[in-house]
Amino acid sequence: MALSAALNDADLELTCHKCGHVSVRKGSWIKVSSSFKCESCGGRNRIGYPEKVAIFEKYAALSRRSLNAEACGIQPLLTVDVV
Ligand SMILES: [Zn+2]
């Protein structure tokens, strides 16, 4: 699973693990960063690769109407079991 270049200019949400404050960063920023400082409590949060993927997936799920997730190389979050 890759972090799509299509989301470089997207505003993605980072949630502070300590206080729950949501910060917004560009996709391109998240890709190259390994941590971010919370604007509310000043706490430092690590951003591991799995967390980056989760952030990108969340955005893709929210923008499904305007963004083709498959074209971005991101698998849809929802799967349907065919019986
Ligand atoms: Zn915080």
| pLDDT tens-digit readout, 39-63 | 999 999 999 999 999 999 989 888 7
Instruction: State yes or no: pLDDT of 69 exceeds 50.
Output: no
- CA–centroid distance, residue 68 to ligand 1 (Å): 32
Q: How many residues does the chain have?
A: 83
E strand or H helix that includes residue 62: helix 49-62
pLDDT band for position 2 (50/70/90)? Answer: confident
Backbone angles phi, psi at 28, to 5 degrees: -65, -35
- 81 lies in some domain: no
Question: Domain for residue 65, yes or no?
Answer: yes
pLDDT beyond 70 at 71 = no
Nearest to 55 by CA among 41, 45, 40, 42: 45
Residue 29 lies in a domain: yes
Considering the chain, what is the average pLDDT of its residues? 84
pTM exceeds cut of 0.75: no
The count of structural domains within the chain is 1
Residues flanking ion ligand 1, Cβ below 5 Å: 16, 18-19, 21, 38, 40-41, 43
User: Which domain does 38 fall in, by range?
Assistant: 5-71
Is residue 38 situated within a structural domain?
A: yes
Is residue 21 one of the residues assigned to a domain?
Answer: yes
